[in-house]
A = this chain, B = another copy of it.
Amino acid sequence: MQSAYRPIRVGLLGAGSVGSQVARLLLENSDELANRVGATLELSGVAVRNLKAKRDSDIPADLLTEDAESLILGSDIVIELIGGIEPAKAWITLALNSGADVVTANKALIAAHGPELFALADQLGAQLYFEAAVAGAIPIIRPLRESLAGDKINRVMGIVNGTTNFILDRMESTGAEFADALALATELGYAEADPTADIEGFDAQSKAAIIASLAFHSEVRVESVHREGITTVTAQQINAAKAAGYAVKLLAICERAFEAGKDGLVIRVHPTLIPLAHPLASVRGAYNAVFVEAESAGQLMFYGAGAGGPETASAILGDLVSAAKRHLAGGPGLADSTHADLEILDVKNTVTRFQITLEVSDETGVLASIASVFSTHGVSVETVQQSAAASHSGALLTVMTHVALESDLDRVVEALRNNDAVVQVNSVIRVEGL
């Protein structure tokens, strides 16, 4: 198409699965993108570590370069897809300093160094886009930043890691144990060779920090996000939850600590029971979903595929079109305001329901003794269900509490462990969405 503008030069850092998809879309859909932007997007080069490495992609060889810095300095918009902290951070800094806008999918970098990079971009009048860093192609950053900009968000609960959702869903639907479900996830390519970042919740922790900072206009450091993984979740636990009407999901929960009587935030990633009727419970396989509760908008949910190559590429291209339009016309910065500056509170300030399963000896008065442990520490019990314990002659108790402060619940659990009638406390899990 004819355009009044010179082409916008796009430099791509990284030629992995996402990078290859982005390059393909840029080349294949060049006319359509030019129509949408108002100027041609010209892929000026793709930086790779080693030109000679064998690669499974259609990127024309003459676009590949090992000289990332020259590519950056010759680009109007830089797309960073190499991941990790360095050299990604140095190259993004170089790009911003050179006057380029930047699009990235690098959640680890944004979670760890977002505030300083946003400050730099803001100071330079440049832009840093990162829709692809959270929940793949699901548009969540833009709705939080813009659509809900006039509302007050009270809570965000997200299934933001496809690998762990696949594993938990598999355990639920087939009765498989964690190790078997993980093995299948690895075989199918849903889990990486080293699955630690996913199954221990580090990935979700980074995303929770990013989501919370946007939703609550506050600086959130990754370290202040409470994190538990799913490695200790058992098939038995999932089956029992299902029978009781709950699904077990690894949720990233970002919420205002109103209920603890404080004006701060609690941000936490952990396995959670949610009622089967809750919209998050029906998110299957490797899908992601983010559930938002806002004062005026009420309950919203954003659902879609997690981070695969094409899905992430779609998010990158969406950001690229925004960046390119702004490159032509200028416009308001997206720099994330941290004016609210809310304090990030310890997870002990969580107010929620808890389900505790424990094995007790089968003696008269045990139930009364257990009940008094809860009431002594100010935790109100909603239901107690008793069944035969698998491992000994006693009974298995499943206790569902009313909403309680986590620090109170901790004292309950400690007291239970010291109680003579208690053989062992099997599990303590938070319950949301009721």
Q: Are A314 and B301 in contact (CB under 8 A)?
A: no
Tell whether A326 is near chain B: CB-to-CB under 8 Å: yes
Q: Are A149 and B279 in contact (CB under 8 A)?
A: no
**Interface-located stretch among A108-116, A204-212, A233-241, A317-325:** A317-325
Contact of A36 among B301, B313, B321, B337 (CB under 8 A): B337
Q: Which residues of B contact A21 (CB under 8 A)?
A: 296
CB-contacts of A298-322 with B (<8 A): 298-305, 308, 310-311, 313-322
Tell whether A331 pairs with B321 under 8 Å between CB atoms, given A21-B296, A147-B142, A313-B296: no
Contact of A149 among B148, B304, B321 (CB under 8 A): B321
- A274-291 interface mask toward B, CB cutoff 8 Å, 1 = contact, 0 = none? 000001001000000000
Q: Are A314 and B150 in contact (CB under 8 A)?
A: yes
CB-contacts of A161-196 with B (<8 A): none
Contact of A298 among B25, B148, B217, B305 (CB under 8 A): B305
Tell whether A303 pairs with B304 under 8 Å between CB atoms, given A143-B139, A143-B142, A149-B322: no
Copies of this protein chain in the complex: 2
How big is chain A's contact interface, by range? 35 or more
Q: Which residue of B lies closest to A303 (CB)?
A: B301
Tell whether A393 is near chain B: CB-to-CB under 8 Å: no
Q: Are A35 and B339 in contact (CB under 8 A)?
A: yes
Tell whether A301 pairs with B304 under 8 Å between CB atoms, given A25-B150, A318-B147, A321-B149: yes
Q: Are B298 and A35 in contact (CB under 8 A)?
A: no
Tell whether A297 is near chain B: CB-to-CB under 8 Å: yes
| A-B residue pairs, 3 tightest by C-beta | A331-B331, A150-B317, A139-B147
Report A's interface with B, CB cutoff 8 A.
21, 25, 29, 32-33, 35-36, 131, 136-139, 142-143, 146-152, 217, 279, 282, 294-305, 308, 310-311, 313-322, 325-326, 328-333, 337, 339-340
